[in-house]
Structure 1
């Protein structure tokens, strides 16, 4: 069977020469492209799509023998699952690959903001030498309330690490009734926003979470709070965030993601109290290798008809079986 890997045009996840032309994996032929032709899409039995490769209805219409599509990400916000299901194409993500790295990246951003490292670095680079030269208040970890919006694997991994530093932890997640680790207090979103010194986002992008943090929500935050976003950019309304920074409702924003990557609003990019990283939170040498291996193993399992926990459209299994007899 033929497996087509569609890599990101913006930044390659597959290294040059990693899969040579006609390479095989577990008996399946692999082909890599960043711009799939009609012929490539038509002959693919399975398709793996990396981050920043949208799977929309016109692209799905060109998949004539495809049985399964694996998105080599956690989020599926740029995948038309209905279009895939309508053609009997199984769809899966790769679960929580890179969850520990995202938690560590978020914690690094939290500590950077809390310890005012960017302020101090800028001050000393300009010739200064005063620990008083910073914006906002410097608190110890034990005096800081860290609010986690979303408490899945990444949120819990961050809580585990932050608890060792003494943070006072709370979380909001409508899917979770009790804190699995006993480390954080469950709150409503309104209560969390009003109490947290640091707000860290760890939830998927859905119709409900899009622009979850907007003008109304920013008006509820504890004045001077810090915002961390290593989840999805569109969870935060960028224009509302700029207004919150201007008013002082948010003292600092540290963002690994933005709404329309890689096009960062100039006002955010140049803001002295905004620090940005390039959607790098998931990354380590190990997590990148795990991501590709997991995507391939998930694809092989789907093509074999094995049970896959990350399958998101199980209702089309019967249709898929009838279509590809």
Structure 2
């Protein structure tokens, strides 16, 4: 059986020679490409697609043998699951791989902003040496309310780290009624926006969450709050964010993801109160290795008929039954 691995054209996840052309993982033959040909798509029994590889209906139409597709990400916002289901192709993500790393990255960004490290670094680079050389207030962690929008694996991992530092933590997640560990208080989105000094986003991108952070939501935020986004860029309306920064509603934005990535608006790049990292929150040597191993294990399990918990369309009709050879 043939497994086609479609790597990202932006930043390769697969190292040269990692899966050498023609490598055999009995009974599977692995191929790696970032630009799949019609022939490669047509002969693939299973496909692994990495971040930024868009799985749309035209691409799915070129999959003639495929029975399973694994998106080697948590989110499936760039996957046409309906098109895959119509062709009898099971679709899965890789669960919460990298959740701990994302939480660590978010925590680092939060502390960076809270301790005014950008101000201090700029000040000392210019020859200064004063602890008063910062904008806004510097609060102790114990005097800070951290609001988590989304309380899944990543939100909970961040809450565990933040509670050890003394933060008061609240969260909003319509799928989670309460925090079983007792370290965070659930509530409404409105109450979170009104009380949180730091807001960190941990939601998937979906029609319900796209531009969740818009002009209306920013207007409800506590004046001078910090926004952190390590989830998906499309959750934040960039224009609305820039207006909130201009008005002072948002004191600082720390963004690992942006809706326009990888070509970012110049206004974000140049803004003195915006810190950008290149969609790197998921990454460590361990998480990258786990991501690839998990994706390969998942696609093999699907092709062997194993029950995979992360499948999002388990009831789709088999390809053979729909006449796709």
- Same fold by TM-score, threshold 0.5 exceeded? yes
Who is 1:322 aligned against? 321
Distance 1:120 1:146 in 2: 23
Q: Equivalences for 1:1-325 in 2 at 5 Å?
A: 1-316=1-316, 318-320=317-319, 322-323=321-322
Distance 2:260 2:180 in 1: 34
Please, which runs of 5 or more residues in structure 1 have no aligned partner?
none
What's the CA shift string for 1:10-31, capped at 9, x where partnerless? 1000001111011122421000
How well do the aligned residues superpose, as a CA RMSD in angstroms?
A: 1.0
Distance 1:265 1:25 in 2: 44
Distance 2:134 2:216 in 1: 28
Distance 1:142 1:320 in 2: 56
What's the CA shift string for 1:53-106, capped at 9, x where partnerless? 000000000000000000000000000000000000000000000000000000
Distance 2:107 2:228 in 1: 9
Please, which runs of 5 or more residues in structure 2 have no aligned partner?
none
On the 8 A contact 1:197/1:222 being kept in 2, the answer is yes
On the 8 A contact 2:67/2:318 being kept in 1, the answer is no
What is the TM-score normalised by the length of structure 1?
Answer: 0.98
Q: 1:309: how far off?
A: 0.4
Distance 1:294 1:322 in 2: 29
Distance 1:26 1:8 in 2: 25
Aligned residues: 324
Distance 1:26 1:107 in 2: 42
What SS class does the counterpart of residue 3 from structure 1 fall into?
strand
What SS class does the counterpart of residue 278 from structure 1 fall into?
coil
On the 8 A contact 1:156/1:181 being kept in 2, the answer is no
Distance 1:116 1:45 in 2: 52
| Structure 1 pair 26–177 and aligned structure 2 pair: CA distance change class (3 A) | farther
What's the CA shift string for 1:173-206, capped at 9, x where partnerless? 0001111221100010000000000000001000
What is the TM-score normalised by the length of structure 2?
Answer: 0.98
Q: 1:209: how far off?
A: 0.3
Distance 2:319 2:41 in 1: 18
Distance 2:24 2:113 in 1: 46
